[in-house]
Amino acid sequence: MSTQDSAASISVTPNGPYIVTGTVPLSVETIGVNEKGESWEYLPGRTFEVRRVYALCRCGESANKPFCDGTHGTIAFDGTETASFEPFAEHAERVPGPSMELAEAPELCAFARFCDGSGSIWKLIGETDSEPVRELVKHQETHCPSGRLVVSENATGAAIEPAYDPAIVLLEDPQKECSGPIAVRGGIRLTSSQGTAYETRNRMTLCRCGKSANKPFCDGTHADVAFEDGLS
């Protein structure tokens, strides 16, 4: 029987760490590539023993990554949140296709590059009258860690989502020689440092390098600054 709390949540603290509540599983996964060197799958790595409540580093400078050790206070970390609270569906850009529609929010891109394998998803969505292309589009979208991309069926309007239990995953990106964001899966509630709730989603990525311009969400800056967590 799982020991996980049914009320899993993450709270952003002012200029400090993420407080995770609910004995949420924590592990490392590596972005694995196919024979062409394209992002294709998640390879499981180490897992961490966690308590019901734990704190994850948000400034990128903890000596005890992924956990907070208080360094944010000594470096005067500015964790000011700049992300919108607007629900995804209300501001997403739409790209129609013959059997599917792609919705996207570019500001949420975590630079995992699953959307580019075997052809860009933006091009392939226009070819979804082909079953092999439909399957490829599903693979690309469901592997997008941040929820930037959401594909829905034209016939039903239903979004295609991977089945995730609540979990937190620290992504590693050896192709770009860096450590990636915190992938939050399975509809974990996220609350800002001011107490306002962000939209609860099946897939999100949170910044852990401290440099995103869309805090608390990842914007891919970890690759630009070659962030390393020392866990892989």
Q: Is the pLDDT of residue 18 over 50?
A: yes
* Contact in structure between 226 and 178 (CB atoms under 8 Å): yes
Q: Residue 134: left (phi > 0), alpha (psi -120 to 50), or beta?
A: alpha
- Read off the tokens for 137: 């589009």
Query: What backbone phi and psi angles, to 5 degrees, belong to 141?
Result: -70, -45
Question: Which pLDDT tens digit goes with each residue over 159-212?
Answer: 999 999 999 999 999 999 999 999 999 999 999 999 999 999 999 999 999 999
Question: Which pLDDT tens digit goes with each residue over 126-173?
Answer: 999 999 999 999 999 999 999 999 999 999 999 999 999 999 999 999
Percent of the chain clearing pLDDT 70 (strictly above): 97
Q: Is the pLDDT of residue 5 over 60?
A: no
* Contact in structure between 187 and 203 (CB atoms under 8 Å): no
Q: Strand runs (DSSP E) across the chain, as ranges?
A: 9-12, 18-21, 26-33, 39-48, 53-56, 93-96, 100-104, 149-153, 167-173, 178-185, 189-191, 203-206
Instruction: Enumerate the domain spans of the chain.
Output: 9-83+165-224, 88-153
* Contact in structure between 65 and 46 (CB atoms under 8 Å): no
pTM: 0.95
